Structures are given as C-alpha cells and as structure tokens.
C-alpha cells in the first residue's frame, strides 16, 4: 500500500483577525479551522501527518494533537513561503522522504472535503505525477492561475502578484485551490530549486508545477468546489466560511431525513447528530455535542448544547437545554424551561417556565410552571431527585440536596427543604387567611365604596 505523508501548512503570517485567537484556531460551527482541515484528512488510509507551525504556538500544536494524536510538528521560524514550509516539514521527518505520495494542505482553508482529498490521491494512483486542486472561475483575485500550453497541458501556476503571464501560455480560467499532491521522489529534488524571485520575495510552492512540467512530469487538475479553497483573513471572511459550512450541514441533515422547515435559520454544530425523522422548526441553535433520536421535535427559538434528546421528545419553543441534559423518550420541555446537567426519564413534563439543574427526574413526573431546583448554595452544587410520577406544583422551590419520592405531590408555591416520602403530599407555604368583607369595609373607610 502506498505510503502517504500529509503536510498541513499553518506557519504563515498568523493573522489574528482582530481577535486574541491565532487565525487557524478560530471556530467554524464549534470547531477550529485547523481541526476542520485535519478531520477531512485524518481518515486517509496509511497516512502520517506533519503540521508546519509557527514557533511558540502551544495552542496550535495542542489542537493538532487533540485531533490527530500522532501528528508530527515541524516549526518554521521565518516563513519564507509555502515551498520553504514544505521543505521544513520534509526535513523534520526521519523516515525516507522519497517514497510514497505527498499531499499538501493549508491550515487556513478549512472547508476542504474528505472526498476531494481522496480524488487527489486517486489521481496520483492513476499515473499522474502531480495533482493540483482547482476550481473554474475566470475572475478570482488572490488565487494562483493555472496556465496551459498549446497542447492543453497544465504546465505552470502564476501567482496573482502582478507578475506578467508568459506569452506562450494561456490562462485557463482555472484557479489553484491551494492543495497539491505529488509523488515524493518527484518533489524532493525539485523543492530546493524553487527561488524567491518574485514580487513577494517568497518561495512559492506553486512554482513546482513549471519545474515538474519542464522535466516532462504530468500535472493533472482535480476539480473542487470554490468553497473548499476559501480562507479567512478577517472576521467578515470567517463569517462567510461559517455560512458555507452551515449550508453544507443543513443539506446533509435534510439528505439524512431531518425535516427543517426553514433551513437557513437553523444553526448546527459540526458534530450535531439528528436521527431520521427529527423535525426542527425555524430559529433553532445547536451548540456542540447534541444528539436527538427519531421523531423528536425541536420547536422554534430553542437553544440546545451538550444534550441527548430521546425519541419522540418535544423541546420548546423557547427552551434552553444545556450541557449534561438527557431528555427521555416522549418527554415534553416547554417554553422558557432551562435544563442543565439533569436526567429526565420517559414522559416527564416540564411545560412552562422552570429551571431544572443537577436533577434526576423519574418517568412521567410533572414539573409545574415556575418550579425551580435551587441547586447552588453559593459555594457548591447539589442534587435534586424526583421519583416516577411525582407531581411538583407550580412555583415551588426545591432546595437541594432534596428528594421527592415517587408518586408524591408538592403543593404549589412550596419551598421544599426536606425529603418528601413517596405518595405523600408536602405543603410548605404560609397558610391562607381570608377576612370576609374586609375589602368592602376598607373601601367604605376611604369613601370610595
């Protein structure tokens, strides 16, 4: 099996886009740009990985190792161009550099897809010496242009740096997406020959194509979507990447049988997992780590993160489901209900205005409007346990740690400090006083009767 070395370049410029975060660590749908690129590459069979990182960037290397634990790190201290970065990567590896295939990706173009990577490597297997990933768009400033000779062979890439295009070559309208795959034994002798003789005074990896063509090596174009080549140098471009990626997620969800009434208004996380038959109303936001089972319904304006929602459960509208929440089968979480770090069993109902935090709630229990689990004493968090089929009346405060037994009733407006035994009634509120005729007398006294 061919050995593959995947090199990810992330040492150039390191623009911060006005945020404190290094450029490649800015998130798209809850995951860093770098992790997106690495995840697209990490399932390549028989591959090893090298990240070219700027010096003293522990956060970047830690993120790379989180996604691919065995990734090697090469440090480029003075970035002198993409060709220089690749050379540094190859020099950093003790294993032979002149065997197998080499694939070069950019840490700042996170939308590359696994299928495109597979196509590029496949192209090398089909007897091409070099594969260049490209999209067709005659006017696309900033991108390298693929140039061909009279025979229609791609024989050079011209960077968009003001250099003139040689008269014997034709601009094809194809643009370099930035990803390149090549046989190692073809790459290693050519790399040192790349100079910095250009307006940017950088050693461009793209000059490799002309050097390869001059030796009669074949460079084939592999088509990708333009979106795969998009990078971000400012916050507006970062938002554009987010928009493209969200759209991909929405399309994938719908292909998998998830009903989205207004797809453009729903925001997913890179790892959102919704089963077939889940229905999502307009204006719903999924943070990281959400799963929902078949037939679950998420009503409008709900915000959900780090939660498991079982089959047939209904959430919202206007629900907030926070990390560690597990919502049981056919449970019902209604408007203005917040659930955090709590397990709600099958059929639990909390239909209006409640806070459920650090709780365990048994099957078919009913949580009335305005119920609060008082889980925090100012220093520590405590648990509330509510048994199966218990009924907690509206506007009750359950001061944790506390247990409400199965089948027990808590009268509305109670402040519960002590455990309630199963099947009993707990009332913890001031007794009502009624003074007959008091109001009429009071009005008379004021002369307003």
Q: 287, 258, 284, 285: which is closest to 271 by C-alpha? A: 287
Among 54, 79, 110, 231, binds Mg ion (CB under 5 A): 231
User: How far apart are CB 79 and ligand UD1 at their closest, in Å?
Assistant: 3
Residue 419: both structure tokens together: 């455990």
362 touches ligand UD1 (CB under 6 A): no
Helix (H) or strand (E) holding 32: strand 31-32
Residue 87: both structure tokens together: 């050379």
CB neighbour class for 42 (10 Å; exposed up to 12, middle 13-18, buried from 19) = middle
Establish whether 136 is a catalytic residue. Answer: no
Among 205, 345, 400, 420, binds ligand UD1 (CB under 6 A): 205
- Contact region for ligand UD1 (CB under 6 A) — 183-191, 201-209, 284-292, 430-438? 201-209
Among 4, 47, 85, 345, binds ligand UD1 (CB under 6 A): 85
Nearer to ligand UD1, 60 or 356 (CB): 60
Among 57, 97, 109, 384, binds ligand UD1 (CB under 6 A): 109
Q: 275, 266, 253: which is closest to 302 by C-alpha? A: 266
CA 225 to chain centre: 20
Q: Under DSSP, is residue 246 helix (H, G, I), strand (E, B) or coil?
A: helix
User: How far apart are CB 402 and ligand UD1 at their closest, in Å?
Assistant: 55
Over the range 268-301, which residues count as b (16 or more CB within 10 Å of their CB) and which as e?
A: bbbebbbbebbbbbebbbbbebbbbbebbbbbbb
Among 229, 246, 375, 414, binds ligand UD1 (CB under 6 A): 229
- Contact region for ligand UD1 (CB under 6 A) — 9-17, 249-257, 352-360, 410-418? 9-17
How far apart CA 204 and CA 187 sit, in angstroms, is 14
How far apart CA 68 and CA 53 sit, in angstroms, is 15
Contact partner at residue 76 from Mg ion, ligand UD1, none, CB < 5 to 8 Å by partner kind = ligand UD1
User: How far apart are CB 212 and Mg ion at their closest, in Å?
Assistant: 22
Contact partner at residue 52 from Mg ion, ligand UD1, none, CB < 5 to 8 Å by partner kind = ligand UD1
116 touches ligand UD1 (CB under 6 A): no
Catalytic residue among 70, 84, 352, 382: 352
132 touches ligand UD1 (CB under 6 A): no
How far apart CA 75 and CA 88 sit, in angstroms, is 7
Contacts of 311 (CB under 8 A, 6+ apart): 275, 293, 294, 295, 296, 329, 330
- Contact region for ligand UD1 (CB under 6 A) — 5-13, 115-123, 220-228, 245-253? 5-13
11 touches ligand UD1 (CB under 6 A): yes
Q: Binding residues for ligand UD1, how many (CB under 6 A)?
A: 29
SS3 of the chain: helix, strand, coil, percent, to 5: 20, 30, 45
Summarize as ranges the residues that interact with ligand UD1 (CB under 6 A).
Answer: 9-12, 52, 76, 79-82, 84-85, 106-109, 143-144, 157, 159, 175-178, 204-206, 229, 231
Active site residues: 352
Give the footprint of Mg ion on this chain (CB under 5 A): 231
């Amino acid at each position: 099996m061919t050995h593959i070395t995947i090199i990810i370049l992330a040492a150039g410029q390191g623009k911060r886009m006005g945020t404190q975060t290094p450029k490649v660590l800015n998130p798209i749908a809850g995951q860093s740009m770098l992790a997106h690129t690495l995840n697209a590459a990490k399932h390549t069979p028989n591959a090893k990985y090298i990240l070219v990182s700027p010096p003293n960037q522990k956060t970047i290397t830690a993120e790379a190792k989180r996604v691919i634990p065995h990734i090697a790190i090469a440090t480029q201290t003075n970035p002198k161009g993409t060709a220089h970065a690749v050379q540094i990567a190859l020099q950093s590896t003790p294993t032979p550099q002149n065997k197998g295939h080499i694939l070069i990706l950019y840490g700042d173009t996170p939308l590359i897809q696994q299928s495109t990577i597979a196509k590029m490597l496949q192209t090398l297997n089909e007897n091409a010496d070099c594969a260049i990933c490209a999209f067709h768009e005659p006017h696309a400033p900033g991108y390298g242009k693929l140039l061909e000779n009279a025979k229609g062979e791609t024989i050079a890439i011209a960077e968009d740096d003001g250099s003139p295009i040689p008269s014997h070559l034709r601009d094809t309208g194809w643009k370099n997406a930035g990803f390149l795959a090549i046989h190692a034994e073809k790459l290693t002798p050519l790399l040192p020959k790349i100079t910095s003789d250009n307006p940017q005074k950088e050693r461009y990896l793209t000059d490799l194509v002309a050097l390869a063509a001059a030796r009669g090596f074949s460079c084939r174009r592999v088509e990708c979507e333009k979106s795969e080549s998009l990078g971000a140098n400012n916050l507006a471009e970062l938002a554009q990447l987010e928009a493209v990626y969200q759209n991909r997620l929405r399309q994938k969800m719908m292909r998998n049988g998830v009903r989205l009434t207004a797809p453009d208004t729903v925001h997913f996380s890179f790892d959102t997992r919704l089963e077939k038959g889940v229905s999502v109303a307009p204006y719903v936001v999924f943070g990281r780590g959400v799963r929902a089972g078949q037939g679950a319904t998420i009503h409008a304006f709900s915000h959900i993160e780090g939660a498991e929602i079982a089959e047939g459960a209904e959430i919202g509208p206007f629900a907030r489901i926070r990390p560690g929440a597990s919502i049981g089968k056919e449970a019902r979480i209604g408007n203005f209900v917040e659930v955090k770090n709590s397990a709600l069993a099958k059929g639990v109902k909390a239909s209006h205005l409640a806070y459920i935090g650090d709780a365990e709630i048994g099957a078919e229990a009913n949580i009335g409007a305005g119920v609060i689990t008082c889980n925090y004493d100012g220093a520590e968090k405590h648990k509330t346990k509510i048994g199966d089929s218990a009924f907690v009346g509206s506007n009750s405060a359950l001061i944790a740690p506390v247990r409400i037994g199965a089948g027990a009733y808590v009268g509305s407006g109670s402040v519960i400090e002590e455990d309630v035994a199963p099947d009993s009634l707990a009332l913890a509120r001031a007794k009502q006083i009624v003074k007959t005729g008091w109001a009429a007398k009071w009005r008379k006294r004021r002369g307003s009767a």
